[in-house]
Amino acid sequence: MANLRDLIKNDKIKNVLFIPVDDLRPELGCYGNENIVTPNIDKLAEEGMVFQRTYCQQAVCGPSRASLLSGCRPDTIGNYKYYVRLRDHLPEVLSLPQHFKNNGYETVSVGKVYHQLDDDPQGWSKTPYRAQGDWKGRGYLTDEAIEKIKNGASLGPATEAADVEDAAYQDGQNLLSMIKELRRLQNEKFFLAAGFSKPHLPFNAPRKYWDLYNREEIDLADNPFVPEGVTEYSLTNFEELRSYFGIPDQGEVSEEKARELIHGYYACVSYIDNLIGKLLNELKRLGLRENTVIIMWGDHGWKLGEHASWSKHTNFEIDTRVPLIVSVPGMENKGCETKALTEFVDIYPSLCELCGLDIPEHAAGKSFVPVLEKPDRDWKQAAYSQYPRKGGEVMGYSVKTDDNYRYTEWQDFSSSEVLARELYDHNNDPQENVNVVKKKKYEEIVQKCSKIIKEKFN
């Protein structure tokens, strides 16, 4: 596509607006969910390209973000826990924002970009900013919620619907700073990372976003049961959700509570959609849309009752598949989607190519600029994710293949001995309800996928 190449060659792409969204699975209108209200993200999709098969490297925020922002896979970083900093493990790595900073960009971080606010100080032109938010930084506004916390509920209620304006919550406060930075940077070459914390727990959003939905009409998960043939490593007890008030310590979540949680998740997604719309409107108002690449991504998926579980922390498709929308000014294929397999490690080299920067040798991914040129072209044959178990003694390596299988090997991390296997046939079982790894007709698929895993990780 000459148009895109000409834009790159002639330095027409000047800026990057980089939008991470926490815990956002592909639960958007542009991804086919007609029941969720996301007009602003859907409009961005009409101006860009929707990547239907993008995968994070690990389904938890810290390692996922560290991998994307460094261009390295989790095993290279040695970071498998949500709270570990990238620079604690790879102090000398050239991060994505640092690379842009070194090439004359003003790099600015507002909101949740890295998991830790003080990670990667080398990468930013000024100290990253994240609003402290609401009551003691826990994200609550109502007297009822605050009282529950004071009375011993460790993390407070799982949901809140305060009758407040957007700026009352943390993400709304961060948006004001994002807009302020855009205005300051309008005459500079910039890389602005604008990170949103919702729909991460607790599912707290202004009441007007809750009012967009009728709770009784919200669908529950189609597969609220444990998949047949799962291994002892496959699922978790969704401890993250259980830390909140009103969630049982063991056992299933009631149907009433499940509807409340899904309602809250949807409300938070619509809240963030509106904030993103305001940010994009300001970009356009300032005349910056014509030379700014916009990339919006969710750091991993999230279970809403699927597999009798909640939260992330697995290698299942629903936790590893993520939304990715890329909009390049002047692109010919706007409004298109692609089913090309892509991974978060591909974002680093792709942004470098779009902005005319050299791609560092350490970057593990592959630039998807050719996919922006031709969405249906032959592309990657596999995308990889991983998740540790038993304190890191066991690692689950997972591959999504281009012919629509997901295969996972659970290995002893020190010896690479295979302890358990899973295979899901997405052609016949897209929800991953049956592990078919022991069925004779899949023997060749298992052998092929096992070879792919060994070549990549062992």
Task: Based on the fold, state whether residues 190 and 315 are members of the same structural domain.
Answer: yes
Give the residue-averaged pLDDT of 182-195: 97
Residue 91 CA neighbour count, 13 Å, CB half: 1
Q: Which two tokens stand for residue 96?
A: 């994505």
Residue 153: its pLDDT value, please? 63
Give the pLDDT band (50/70/90) at residue 6.
low
Give the residue-averaged pLDDT of 291-295: 97
Q: Which two tokens stand for residue 412?
A: 């002893």
How big is the chain by its Cα radius of gyration, in Å? 21
Give the pLDDT band (50/70/90) at residue 152.
confident
pLDDT above 70: percentage of residues in the chain: 97
Q: Whole-angstrom Cα distance, residue 278 to residue 274?
A: 6
Q: Which two tokens stand for residue 151?
A: 């009375």
Give the residue-averaged pLDDT of 54-74: 98
Question: Does pLDDT of 13 surpass 90?
Answer: no
Task: Based on the fold, state whether residues 12 and 138 are members of the same structural domain.
Answer: yes
Task: Based on the fold, state whether residues 361 and 420 are members of the same structural domain.
Answer: no
Nearest residue to 396 via CA among 230, 241, 263, 244? 230
Query: Nearest 5 degrees, angle CA 126-CA 127-CA 130?
Result: 125
Question: Which burial class, exposed, middle or buried, applies to 441 when counting CB atoms under 10 A from its CB (0-12, 13-18, 19+)?
Answer: exposed
Question: Does pLDDT of 377 surpass 80?
Answer: yes
Chain length of the chain: 458
Q: Whole-angstrom Cα distance, residue 341 to residue 331?
A: 20
Give the pLDDT band (50/70/90) at residue 1.
very low
Q: Which residues are CB-contacts of 270 (< 8 A; sequence separation ≥ 6)?
A: 36, 37, 38, 205, 209, 212
61 in catalytic set: yes
Residues paired with residue 407 on neighbouring β-strands, in sequence order = 399, 423
Give the residue-averaged pLDDT of 405-430: 97
Give the residue-averaged pLDDT of 361-388: 97
Q: Which residues are CB-contacts of 4 (< 8 A; sequence separation ≥ 6)?
A: 328, 330, 331, 332, 369, 372, 373
Residue that terminates a domain, selected from 380, 415, 444: 380
The catalytically annotated residue of 30, 61, 72, 449 is 61
Instruction: Transcribe 261-317 into DSSP letters.
Output: HHHHHHHHHHHHHHHHHHHHHHHHHTT-GGGEEEEEEESS--EESGGG-EE--S-SH
Question: Which burial class, exposed, middle or buried, applies to 183 when counting CB atoms under 10 A from its CB (0-12, 13-18, 19+)?
Answer: exposed
Task: Based on the fold, state whether residues 293 and 395 are members of the same structural domain.
Answer: no
Task: Based on the fold, state whether residues 223 and 260 are members of the same structural domain.
Answer: yes
Task: Based on the fold, state whether residues 288 and 400 are members of the same structural domain.
Answer: no
Task: Based on the fold, state whether residues 205 and 290 are members of the same structural domain.
Answer: yes
Residue that terminates a domain, selected from 325, 350, 380: 380
Give the model confidence (pLDDT) of 226-262 as tens digits.
Answer: 999 999 999 999 999 999 999 999 999 999 999 999 9
Residue 226: its pLDDT value, please? 97
For the domain that residue 71 is a member of, what is the CATH number?
Answer: 3.40.720.10
Q: Is 72:345 a contact under the CB 8 Å cutoff?
A: yes
Residue that terminates a domain, selected from 361, 380, 399: 380
268 in catalytic set: no
Residue 133: its pLDDT value, please? 74
Question: Does pLDDT of 305 surpass 60?
Answer: yes
The sign of the torsion formed by the CA atoms of 401, 369, 291, 289 equals negative
Q: Whole-angstrom Cα distance, residue 266 to residue 302?
A: 12
Give the pLDDT band (50/70/90) at residue 92.
very high
Residue 2: its pLDDT value, please? 44
Strand, coil or helix: what is 343? strand
For the domain that residue 419 is a member of, what is the CATH number?
Answer: 3.30.1120
Residue 347: its pLDDT value, please? 98
What does pTM read for this prediction?
0.97
Give the pLDDT band (50/70/90) at residue 3.
low
**Where do the H-state alpha helices sit in 187-254?**
207-210, 239-242
Strand, coil or helix: what is 122? helix
- Number of domains comprising the chain: 2
The catalytically annotated residue of 30, 72, 99, 115 is 115
Q: Which residues are CB-contacts of 202 (< 8 A; sequence separation ≥ 6)?
A: 138, 139, 140, 155, 156, 157, 158, 159, 160, 244, 264
What is the residue range of 225's domain? Answer: 2-380
Q: Whole-angstrom Cα distance, residue 278 to residue 268?
A: 16
Strands 49-55, 321-327: pairing kind: antiparallel
Task: Based on the fold, state whether residues 324 and 398 are members of the same structural domain.
Answer: no
Residue 150: its pLDDT value, please? 84
Task: Based on the fold, state whether residues 361 and 452 are members of the same structural domain.
Answer: no
